[in-house]
Amino acid sequence: MTQKSLFEPYALGSLTLANRIVLAPLTRNRARAGFVPSELAPTYYSQRASAGLLIAEATQISQQGQGYQDTPGIYTQAQIDGWRQVTDAVHAKGGRIFLQLWHVGRVSHVALQENGAAPVAPSAIRAETKTFVNNEFLPVSEPRALSLDELPGIVEDFRKAAANAVAAGFDGVEIHAANGYLLDQFLKDGSNVRDDAYGGSIDNRARLTLEVAAGVVKEVGAERTGIRISPISPANGISSSDPQAQFDYLVAQLDTLGLVYLHVVEGATGGARDVAPFDFDALRRQFRNTYIANNGYDLELANARLEEGKADLFAFGRPFIANPDLVERLKAGAPLADLDQATLYGGGAKGYIDYPALVPADA
């Protein structure tokens, strides 16, 4: 394949994407009162609508699912209405957009939970990580283990959130099962020491993720449902003694559900791609539909992997923050702007919607 094939249209289920470049979900902590997307969010996302697919920032499915201050939700009508402004703005530019559905599990703080309750997790094991709360990074709180009779409610919250996302105009949803959050916590034995039907064996640890995926597919359809995983990322203090076996099994089961895409963080989230041995190509072989590759991709690596047939779409994260026209810059071979680290999380327009395009829209 030639380099230009990265910029050619791609069929994602019933959707036609303008190119193979994906905006990865990026938490920016700018939601307003009621965890409604910022009034600046429609501008932010529409500025980046030239990506073949936009995956909107991780969005909590319930208050219990929140782990950071000022992140948006998708469980109230006001939140649905706020997201509708975003999807309308993106669609007006010809873009396609999915919403990432999020439950953080133990990566939370009592200040964010209803009545100061403890965060929930598969097991009462505190994560060795921090969260952004009260305008600073603080150690996460001690979690409590979810009871068996609470787990159907988690599945139901994901289902409702998917329905709400479609009501808000999203083209589909991505189930967040990566980066040490709730579903990843169930998948990995460093955080899941349960001895019931949701712990112990590989299939038991995959059970909740598969139930969530089946519930979302039943609600909005397989062509509107993707999932994100991170088999070997140590993000948020997560660990696994058997990642290859665990994720080979999980992906094979997800394939039977017909999900439209598998979004894989290859390596440590935002870090080394070779943090631990893992055969990502095995996942690709087990999944019949679209494989989205993520982590440390640039134009050269994406083109090489595309030519080898190792992935279909390629997710870019931080480069999209300072380069709203990243697709155009990559296509032109233009230099990329640097992002302002101080404005990544929280704040207003500065460092959010004020990064200039290579060629101004009104030129």
Number of domains present in the structure of the chain: 1
Query: What pLDDT score does 225 carry?
Result: 98
Q: Is residue 186 part of a domain?
A: yes
What mean pLDDT value characterizes the chain? 96
Q: What's the CATH code of the domain at 81?
A: 3.20.20.70
The mean per-residue pLDDT over the stretch 238-244 comes to 97
Amino acid at 207: R
Q: What is the DSSP string of 265-314?
A: E-SSTTS-TTSS---HHHHHHH--SEEEEESS--HHHHHHHHHTTS-SEE
pLDDT at position 363: 47
For residue 336, tell me if it sits in a domain: no
346 lies in some domain: no
Contact 122, 146 (CB under 8 A): yes
Contact partners, residue 170, CB within 8 Å, separation at least 6:
56, 83, 87, 97, 98, 99
Predicted local distance difference test score (pLDDT) of residue 324: 97
CA-to-CA distance for 48 and 80, rounded, in angstroms?
Answer: 21
Question: Is residue 323 one of the residues assigned to a domain?
Answer: no
Residues taking part in catalysis: 181
With cut-offs at 50, 70 and 90, classify the pLDDT of residue 2.
Answer: very low
Confirm whether 352 is domain-assigned. Answer: no
Share of the chain above pLDDT 90, in %: 93
pTM of this structure? 0.96
Residue 147: domain span:
3-313
Asked whether residue 362 is assigned to any structural domain, the reply reads no
Determine, yes or no, domain membership for 103. Answer: yes
Whether 276 has a pLDDT exceeding 90, the answer reads: no
What is the identity of the amino acid at 152?
P
Domain presence at residue 345: no
Residue-wise pLDDT for 73-115, tens only, equals: 999 999 999 999 999 999 999 999 999 999 999 999 999 999 9
